[in-house]
């Protein structure tokens, strides 16, 4: 049995779901009543839920008892505080631990547990590489890709607010919808924006890559999974990093992507003033769009799931 753990945001969860699809015996350890629990149910993945807000010692003990019954052979983690119980269980029971880092800077949890990991799989090279680090890209769910899935959705720009929704990104429709047809994934702000002219408003989609296929340009946060999906589909994009992420990793992601030529970064504080000119500059220039696609193609590593599972089998 392979145990997967990591949670709270789609960036931590979606790569693990992609790996789970390649395994026969797998369970996911995450927070009770969370995004990871909902997604695991949708994808029919065995889930161990924990209530982490109150008595954490008792919660960890209960998690240990549940894992004891699973005959765990390895643990794969993408980080986040929800991964602590499973990773501690792995250390205490000498179970091989494998970490997957989605960002261009290692998160706090992964940084600590990298001391105990058999191997650390990276999406992008880090500034300081160690022997146990290996760049494999990021596993993503892209099943049944088809332009026909959303063939009735006609729009120019797709705005993605992330798995939790983003008010600053939602507000950008007011700068763009007089000229362009917009599709907005608004999350928890869906009701507030549902009646805006020239705009398709969705709360959430399970198969985001299929919706991405319909767009000419994508505006997104700098979350790991979403940006990797954009680059894998080779879509011109504008990245607006969140200002409130741990270790400022979204800004560092976006800066890295822009330096590689994969996107145009706009800071959140400047977005309303700059977004229209940035959008028109990209959409009016075929050479800019072609260059972005070429740079994205160079950055993406294909068959990441297979690479990770092959490396685990070797070890």
Structure-block tokens of residue 28: 């996911």
The pairing of beta strand 157-160 with beta strand 182-185: parallel
pLDDT band at 58 (very low <50, low <70, confident <90, very high): low
Q: What is the mean pLDDT of the chain?
A: 89
State yes or no: pLDDT of 46 exceeds 60. yes
Question: Tens digit of pLDDT for each residue in 267-284?
Answer: 999 999 999 999 999 999
Percent of the chain with pLDDT over 90: 61
Confidence at residue 211, expressed as pLDDT on a 0 to 100 scale = 92
State yes or no: pLDDT of 245 exceeds 80. no
- Alpha carbons 266 and 24: distance in angstroms, whole number: 42
Question: Tens digit of pLDDT for each residue in 251-265?
Answer: 999 999 999 999 999
Rounded to an integer, the average pLDDT of 277-305 is 95
Confidence at residue 63, expressed as pLDDT on a 0 to 100 scale = 72
State yes or no: pLDDT of 12 exceeds 60. yes
Question: Tens digit of pLDDT for each residue in 179-190?
Answer: 999 999 998 888
Structure-block tokens of residue 292: 């972005």
Confidence at residue 263, expressed as pLDDT on a 0 to 100 scale = 97
- Alpha carbons 19 and 17: distance in angstroms, whole number: 5
Confidence at residue 56, expressed as pLDDT on a 0 to 100 scale = 62
State yes or no: pLDDT of 55 exceeds 60. no
pLDDT: which is higher, 244 or 104: 104
State yes or no: pLDDT of 194 exceeds 90. no
Give me the phi and psi of 202, to 5 degrees please: -120, 145
CB-CB neighbours of 159 under 10 Å:
27
Confidence at residue 188, expressed as pLDDT on a 0 to 100 scale = 87
Question: Tens digit of pLDDT for each residue in 105-156?
Answer: 898 899 999 999 999 999 999 988 899 999 999 998 876 677 677 888 889 9
Question: Tens digit of pLDDT for each residue in 85-94?
Answer: 899 989 999 9
Contact 227/296 with Cβ under 8 angstroms?
Answer: no
Percent of the chain with pLDDT over 70: 94
pLDDT band at 99 (very low <50, low <70, confident <90, very high): very high
For the chain, give the secondary structure using H, E and C.
Answer: CEEEECCCCHHHHHHHHHHHCCCCCEEEEEECCCHHHHHHHHCCCEEEEECCCCCHHHHHHHHHHHHHCCCCCEEEECCCHHHHHHHHHHHHCCCCEEEEECCCCCCHHHHHHCCCCCEEEECCCCCCCCCCEEECCCCCCCCCCCCCCCCCCCCCEEEECCCCCCHHHHCCHHHHCCCCCEEEECHHHHHHHCCCCCEEEECCCCCHHHHHCCCCEEEECCCHHHHHHHHHHCCCEEECCCCCCHHHHHHHHHHHHHHCCCCEECCHHHHHHHHHHHHHHHHCCHHHHHHHHHHHHHHCCCCHHHHHHHHHHHC
- Alpha carbons 271 and 285: distance in angstroms, whole number: 20
State yes or no: pLDDT of 306 exceeds 90. yes
CB-CB neighbours of 192 under 10 Å:
13
Structure-block tokens of residue 175: 């700068």
State yes or no: pLDDT of 52 exceeds 80. no
State yes or no: pLDDT of 288 exceeds 80. yes
Confidence at residue 57, expressed as pLDDT on a 0 to 100 scale = 63
């Amino acid at each position: 049995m392979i145990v997967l753990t990591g949670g709270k945001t789609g960036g931590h969860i979606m790569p693990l779901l992609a790996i789970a699809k390649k395994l026969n015996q797998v369970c996911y350890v995450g927070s009770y009543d969370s995004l990871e629990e909902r997604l695991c149910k949708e994808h029919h993945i065995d889930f161990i839920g924990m209530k982490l807000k109150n008595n954490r010692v008792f919660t960890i003990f209960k998690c240990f008892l549940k894992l004891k019954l699973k005959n765990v052979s390895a643990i794969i983690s993408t980080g986040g505080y929800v991964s602590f119980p499973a990773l501690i269980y792995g250390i205490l029971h000498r179970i091989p631990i494998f970490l997957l880092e989605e960002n261009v800077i290692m998160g706090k949890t992964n940084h600590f547990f990298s001391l105990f990991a058999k191997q650390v799989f990276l999406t992008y090279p880090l500034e300081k590489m160690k022997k146990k680090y290996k760049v494999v890209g990021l596993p993503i769910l892209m099943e049944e890709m088809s332009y026909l899935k959303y063939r009735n959705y006609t729009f120019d720009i797709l705005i993605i607010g992330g798995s939790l929704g983003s008010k600053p990104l939602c507000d950008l429709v007011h700068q763009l919808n007089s000229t362009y047809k917009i599709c907005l994934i608004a999350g928890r702000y869906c009701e507030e924006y549902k009646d805006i002219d020239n705009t398709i408003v969705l709360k959430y989609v399970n198969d985001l890559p299929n919706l991405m296929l319909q767009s000419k340009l994508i505006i997104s946060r700098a979350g790991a999974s979403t940006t990797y999906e954009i680059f894998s589909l080779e879509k011109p994009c504008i990245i607006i990093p969140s200002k409130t992420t741990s270790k400022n990793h979204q800004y560092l992601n976006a800066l890295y992507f822009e330096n590689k030529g994969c996107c145009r970064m706009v800071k959140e504080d400047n977005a309303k003033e700059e977004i229209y000119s940035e959008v028109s500059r990209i959409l009016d220039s075929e050479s800019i769009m072609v260059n972005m696609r070429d740079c994205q193609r160079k950055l993406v590593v294909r068959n990441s799931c297979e690479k990770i599972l092959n490396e685990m089998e070797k070890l």
